[in-house]
């Protein structure tokens, strides 16, 4: 399938284009960009740097993807951006490359990034995420699969958001948010489990009940996290979902919300 490139678009000869790509008016695709089959750039989209972008991504007006890191330590070394397939980037989204030589920012597949989303240098974002308007990641943030980032949420550098977690609108995230939890506030605290999200993802009632019990152990029974994790590890037949929660909390360096 032939590509459709508007006469006003600028595509560098060193860009690597797949098939069936639509590039609209006043877009710029720079040297080093590798663009997968079926991608669509509406208009005024900029793709830059050493950016490998998978198939069937859609970019709305004024998106800027693959620009250099904003970290002041960056002095021009080769760094990278890797984007999966089937993502939607709405108006004015920005995604930066890594900082250290050879480092990458990584965005998964099938995400929906609403207007003014920002993904900073060296972040790792999973699959099937939703970033509401102005959801913002500082550098080195990790976001798991099926996470929902509320509108105007700001996430501090080096924080982690676990799979199936959700942040409330206007939240300030300064510590890790464990999997399956809802965090809200300024600074944010875990308020409950993401029961609606888990139901929509097909978690059965037994698993959701186990996650609720684990939440109670971690947040309601007035123990430190070391003691809580010992209790959770002692559960018979606790299942992989609780193991994921245990491993996430045990690995936290910033503490959990």
- Give start and end residues of each alpha helix (H) in 194-236: 195-200, 205-219, 225-233
Q: Is 118 annotated in the active site?
A: no
| Nearest CA-CA partner of 147 in 121, 119, 122 | 119
Please identify which of the residues 44, 118, 121, 128 carries the catalytic annotation.
121
CA distance 87 to 183: 25
Q: How is residue 187 annotated by DSSP?
A: T
Output the six-digit token pair for 130.
Answer: 């939703």
Q: Is 122 annotated in the active site?
A: yes
Please identify which of the residues 36, 108, 111, 139 carries the catalytic annotation.
139
| Nearest CA-CA partner of 32 in 78, 74, 71, 76 | 78
CA distance 122 to 103: 7
Q: In degrees rounded to 5, what are phi and psi of residue 216?
A: -65, -40
Q: Is 127 annotated in the active site?
A: no
Please identify which of the residues 49, 111, 122, 145 carries the catalytic annotation.
122
Q: How many CB atoms lie within 10 A of CB 244?
A: 17
Q: How many CB atoms lie within 10 A of CB 200?
A: 11
Segment holding 80, helix H or strand E:
strand 80-83
Q: Is the dihedral of CA 178, 152, 143, 196 positive or negative?
A: positive
Which residues are marked as active site?
121-122, 139
């Amino acid at each position: 399938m032939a590509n459709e490139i508007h006469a006003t678009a600028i595509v560098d000869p060193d860009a690597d284009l797949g098939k069936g790509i639509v590039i609209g008016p006043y877009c710029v695709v720079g040297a080093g960009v590798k663009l997968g089959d079926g991608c669509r750039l509406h208009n005024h989209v900029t793709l830059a740097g050493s950016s490998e972008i998978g198939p069937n991504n859609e970019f709305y007006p004024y998106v800027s993807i693959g620009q250099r890191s904003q970290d002041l330590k960056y002095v021009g070394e080769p760094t990278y951006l890797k984007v999966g397939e089937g993502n939607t980037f709405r108006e004015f989204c920005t995604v930066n490359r890594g900082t250290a030589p050879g480092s990458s920012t990584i965005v998964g597949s099938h995400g929906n990034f609403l207007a003014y989303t920002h993904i900073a240098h060296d972040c790792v974002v999973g699959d099937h995420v939703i970033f509401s308007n102005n959801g913002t990641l500082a550098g080195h943030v990790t976001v798991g699969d099926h996470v929902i980032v509320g509108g105007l949420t700001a996430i501090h550098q080096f924080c982690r958001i676990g799979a199936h977690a959700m942040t409330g609108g206007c939240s300030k995230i300064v510590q890790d948010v464990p999997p399956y939890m809802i965090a809200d506030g300024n600074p944010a605290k875990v308020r409950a489990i993401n029961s609606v999200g888990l139901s929509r993802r097909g978690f059965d009632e037994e698993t959701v009940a186990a996650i609720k019990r684990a939440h109670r152990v971690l947040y309601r029974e007035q123990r430190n996290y070391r003691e809580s994790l010992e209790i959770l590890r002692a559960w018979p037949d606790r299942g992989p979902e609780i193991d994921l929660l245990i491993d996430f909390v045990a690995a936290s360096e910033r503490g959990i919300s």
